Amino acid sequence: MLAGCAKEPPPRTVTEFIENPILLEAAMVRCSQDRANTKYDAECVNARQAVARIQAKEEAAAKAALEARSESKRSALRRTQAAAAEARRRAAEAERLRKEAEYLAQFGVAPPADGEVGETPAEGESLPESNLPVAVVPEAVEPPDTTGAYEEAGLAPVGSNAPVSELSEPQPAVSDLESVRDELSRRNEEGED
């Protein structure tokens, strides 16, 4: 009889379930055994709300952790891209300085030291061997002698800008150096008169 007159304990609150996971698990097991009768039971409703809040907190924590990982990856990617851009900039600057030194070396100008403007060496100073201008003279190639055939016809070679002789008889070809000298001295004497 006493048991029937005793007050029923009040249902546990959502906060109590969140703070004590063992009570929450026991309530969820009891509520899931007879779902039809416990659907609107206050303690079962509070237990379901506690589960939903715990899941929401876990999801928020997982999302925050994922966002932190993503931010660290974005930060690392930004650092990598900045380092690559700096490396490209330095390589371009080094290439520009190399080309400038190569260009200045053609004129015998020493490349400028860091922060200096390029100057020519003072008198008595010599340039390092690597900065002396280098001239490459190609070997002479003798073109085939085709002037005899054109001279006989009184024409200039094709593609030539030489004047065409209007003489009716061809001029003899000068074959030796002595005859060229004689011809030049004769023309000089005629020009003085």
Query: Taking the CB of residue 50, how many other CB atoms lie within 10 A of it?
Result: 24
Contacts of 47 (CB under 8 A, 6+ apart): 12, 17, 24, 27, 28, 31
Reduce the DSSP state of residue 139 to 3 states and report it: coil
Q: 38 with 6: CB under 8 angstroms?
A: no
Q: Domain limits of the chain?
A: 9-103
pTM above 0.85, yes or no: no
Q: How far apart are CA 131 and CA 119, in angstroms?
A: 13
- Of residues 4 and 17, which shows the higher confidence score? 17
- Of residues 92 and 140, which shows the higher confidence score? 92
Per-residue pLDDT, averaged over 17-41, amounts to 89
Question: Amino acid identity, residue 168?
Answer: S
Q: 25 with 48: CB under 8 angstroms?
A: no
Mark 85-120 as b/e (b = at least 16 C-beta within 10 Å). eeeeeeeeeeeeeeeebeebbeeebbbeeeeeeeee
pLDDT digit string (tens) for 103-134? 888 887 766 665 554 445 555 555 555 555 55
**Token duo for residue 13:** 């609150």
Q: How far apart are CA 94 and CA 4, in angstroms?
A: 95
Q: How far apart are CA 77 and CA 86, in angstroms?
A: 14
- Of residues 34 and 80, which shows the higher confidence score? 80
| Nearest to 119, CA basis, from 130, 110, 107 | 110
Q: How far apart are CA 51 and CA 24, in angstroms?
A: 8
Question: Amino acid identity, residue 144?
Answer: P
For residue 68, pLDDT beyond 60 = yes
- Of residues 78 and 160, which shows the higher confidence score? 78
Beta strand extents in 11-142 (DSSP E only): none
